[in-house]
Structure 1
């Protein structure tokens, strides 16, 4: 990490550093630019915001009270729209819900058009579609362009019987909206949409140019996002990128996300016979595929040290520096509290690391599914012919999904060859994403920190996330734009689990954040014409 985890403001008073126009342009010249668009002013504009005091910006610029009044007046209507949105079972991993994912894209298209966005279209891929929209008529012809990312596909709702209310019949109770996708990511994705709508309905214009990239395949690893971005590079070119997918430490503690783990997945089938067999007639005389699968999976880890037992798996994993570990230790939520919320009494994993170090900065191989034989009510005295397992693996640092996958496949193949009577089949899943690491000092993080400081009245803290958002590294690689997370979900909201919920107050705070972000970026750009930006 580049000084990650705990964000510390460089300034505490109204006077500090000056960023000159020449230093801005010198930095800008170092960037690789995309030639498909006339000009990408990203670094110049971003650097201007680094020392920009947002409270001064708001005082001298346009009055945002009418926008926030519109948000308050239309809060119930916006919530009802979100309820309608969450009601669509857009489960991207289930072919039976492919129609629902498309219906969700159509719903979004209509809603974005109603909001006043332009050039709204459904972008086809070889899988589920994405949705694009923009508004590119800022008064300033040199206004920055902001790309906002989110996703409208959701995880399966299983096990449905553990939900208090049906997952696709959203229900509001105690200030929380319950439903699959209420937090990840429909609830959070809808936040900037509402902010844009409020601005356009109030002023009939935006202070910056805005583009939206709303994906329908994030929950399955964004398998077609690379092709989509490469094909539409000019369409998505921007000076800033912000992600509405992600979250904060807590409703009262703002944060900057500085690292995400990468991911890839595979499925294993281990076969020992052509057909199921009577457990009395054959038990003890032939290989049991369930026993063999358990042995195979156990070989992936050293149970005493918690380390991954795959040769070469740690070769591209960077060690945490002392500074990084000290920053992680400052994270304001004790690991005991984080675990207690999930009903877990102890953190288990790679020795020598605490819970947050393990889940933010260390690689994993996790068994997320395992089955075979008879699982219905009662007993069936049968030896199954095969056993199955699903693995999801998280990568960090410079690990590549392809190299790491091959290392695991080699390990499993060799281990299976030592099991008498067992034949192993490995199927690669398209789910994949690269690890992402950034610094608290990037221009995007700096401007978001200023917005959050103004909104929460306190410094944001740095954090990592153990999950993966594949588009972050793709935007960096293909569009040369750094992505900054500005999302308002929280770790206790049961994402990917029964009774997922989003906090309505957090959504409304997020709407104000995006409103202030747009105006703050416009004001910072205007200040650049004076050749410097002073705190």
Structure 2
């Protein structure tokens, strides 16, 4: 390839940038909420077909929509014209999004993208449609300007990441040969600041549960029966409170911390290097004060320590005025973010056993494990990670920091086990993007720098004898 192919590709993207943003808007318009897949199958099929058409149009080959039983389709594409001697990079992304509730708090409708203040607003703008779209735009710019790439590519987009990728593992297992690669790229995270890009060297795991309590056969008048019949909502609140110490925020489930792996000296150094302060946390969240496990700074609490959260409680009456009842049934949705080497299945069983022991005989209780994701770490010395470090510095004009991410990517450790252990996990979002919240958005400046960084990455990955790892 020409010596200046990188700069030619960047100029090509800049020439067609507005068109790329308009196409991203089209992608955001698809309401691909994986939690509502049963009702939205037509939307998922339409989005997958749109992606197939777009990926074919930018010059990728063997582009196809892959149907899976009772789950969103996958979209696969490849470009293998660099030849057998060239390295092969697998790119993973997801086109599904989380629910939009509360809908009435959005400034503009979540699936009608709007541009304002150099930001593109809409559900999925940042997580993850905008981020994998930046990679596709980088590929398109390279093929448009020079007709080829310096390495082979395989692209896999799924529609179930926000639902813990429950059907993807079997597909990967069955297609290991087809998906063979020399390294994996994922862009699905936030930077700290436009001048502080990040490379994630690990993610927390996740264990999600639902707790259901049944009391009387029907709602009861609290004046007539209060004091004689157990209120399942009262019991639920007491049970949830018993999981965590209210002062230290330590989780009280016996055995919960037994498998927690201590951070290495290198990980401690990475943590110390992160410019995360309490003031930053307060400014970003708008919380009246910060909280979390005693004895750890904010930067550790949000990434390197396990946590417990209640996401919702349903039951009783919450409408206008007062309705003095004892509800018949209630339920709550919980999750535990986990760190190496905690096993979500083991944690789920520990929590279930703990709650069943605490529950009084005055209610019937069911505890269900809804989903699980294992924590994962990557080798920061791997060639693909070091290439990413150089590419991000070139694209954003600042060296990236290494961080263990607080969120979960359910498929990460499965990708490592089945396809390749070396993964570059980065992203172009910002804390202000409001991912998983109302008014999600994506900075167009970050989008531009993300495209540039990915073009540089393709070059960096092939600088040394064409080997990714």
TM exceeding 0.5:
yes
SS of the residue corresponding to residue 404 of structure 1 reads: helix
Give the C-alpha shift of residue 321 in structure 1: 4.9
Where does the alignment leave 5 or more consecutive residues of structure 2 unmatched? none
- Tell me the residue number matched to 2:364: 423
- Tell me the residue number matched to 2:108: 165
CA distance in 2, matches of 1:120, 1:175: 32
Give the C-alpha shift of residue 322 in structure 1: 6.0
Where does the alignment leave 5 or more consecutive residues of structure 1 unmatched? 1-57, 529-535
CA distance in 2, matches of 1:450, 1:169: 36
- Tell me the residue number matched to 1:48: none
- Tell me the residue number matched to 1:70: 12
- Tell me the residue number matched to 1:135: 79
1:377 aligns with 2:317: no
Give the C-alpha shift of residue 440 in structure 1: 2.7
CA distance in 2, matches of 1:124, 1:240: 25
The answer to which of 206-215 and 248-257 deviates more is: 248-257
Task: Note the alpha carbon deviations across 1:297-329, whole angstroms, 9 max, x for none.
Answer: 111112232111101011100233566445423
Task: Note the alpha carbon deviations across 1:430-458, whole angstroms, 9 max, x for none.
Answer: x3211012243222211101112222333
SS of the residue corresponding to residue 227 of structure 2 reads: coil
- Whether the aligned pair in 1 keeps the contact of 2:394 and 2:456 (CA below 8 Å) is no
CA distance in 1, matches of 2:466, 2:231: 71
- Whether the aligned pair in 2 keeps the contact of 1:92 and 1:98 (CA below 8 Å) is no
Which residue among 393, 400, 406 is the counterpart of 1:453? 393
Give the C-alpha shift of residue 392 in structure 1: 1.3
- Whether the aligned pair in 2 keeps the contact of 1:475 and 1:482 (CA below 8 Å) is no
Give the C-alpha shift of residue 479 in structure 1: 1.3
- Tell me the residue number matched to 1:87: 29
Relative to structure 1, is the Cα distance of residues 385 and 85 closer, same or farther in structure 2, using a 3 angstrom cutoff? same
1:466 aligns with 2:394: no
SS of the residue corresponding to residue 454 of structure 1 reads: helix
1:489 aligns with 2:429: yes
CA distance in 1, matches of 2:462, 2:383: 14
- Tell me the residue number matched to 2:180: 237
- Whether the aligned pair in 2 keeps the contact of 1:259 and 1:437 (CA below 8 Å) is yes
1:403 aligns with 2:343: no
**Larger-Rg structure:** 1
SS of the residue corresponding to residue 265 of structure 1 reads: strand
Relative to structure 1, is the Cα distance of residues 413 and 232 closer, same or farther in structure 2, using a 3 angstrom cutoff? same
- Whether the aligned pair in 1 keeps the contact of 2:89 and 2:151 (CA below 8 Å) is yes
- Whether the aligned pair in 1 keeps the contact of 2:378 and 2:421 (CA below 8 Å) is no
Task: Note the alpha carbon deviations across 1:29-56, whole angstroms, 9 max, x for none.
Answer: xxxxxxxxxxxxxxxxxxxxxxxxxxxx
Task: Note the alpha carbon deviations across 1:347-379, whole angstroms, 9 max, x for none.
Answer: 212111112211211112211111101122222
- Tell me the residue number matched to 1:353: 296
Give the C-alpha shift of residue 339 in structure 1: 2.6
Which residue among 220, 244, 265 is the counterpart of 1:277? 220
The answer to which of 431-440 and 206-215 deviates more is: 431-440
CA distance in 1, matches of 2:34, 2:375: 22
SS of the residue corresponding to residue 247 of structure 1 reads: coil
Give the C-alpha shift of residue 526 in structure 1: 5.0
Q: What does residue range 177-326 of structure 1 map to in structure 2 within 5 Å?
A: 177-321=120-264, 324-326=267-269
Aligned residues between the structures: 466
Give the C-alpha shift of residue 393 in structure 1: 1.3
Task: Note the alpha carbon deviations across 1:413-433, whole angstroms, 9 max, x for none.
Answer: 1111xx24111011221x321
- Whether the aligned pair in 1 keeps the contact of 2:32 and 2:95 (CA below 8 Å) is yes
Q: What does residue range 324-339 of structure 1 map to in structure 2 within 5 Å?
A: 324-339=267-282
CA distance in 2, matches of 1:269, 1:495: 29
- Whether the aligned pair in 2 keeps the contact of 1:149 and 1:245 (CA below 8 Å) is no
Task: Note the alpha carbon deviations across 1:261-281, whole angstroms, 9 max, x for none.
Answer: 001211111111111111221
Give the C-alpha shift of residue 85 in structure 1: 0.3
Query: After TM superposition, where is structure 1 displaced by more than 6 Å over at least 4 residues in a row?
Result: none
Which residue among 368, 376, 382 is the counterpart of 1:442? 382
- Whether the aligned pair in 2 keeps the contact of 1:336 and 1:345 (CA below 8 Å) is no
Give the C-alpha shift of residue 197 in structure 1: 1.1
CA distance in 1, matches of 2:264, 2:179: 36
Give the C-alpha shift of residue 338 in structure 1: 2.1
Give the C-alpha shift of residue 141 in structure 1: 3.4
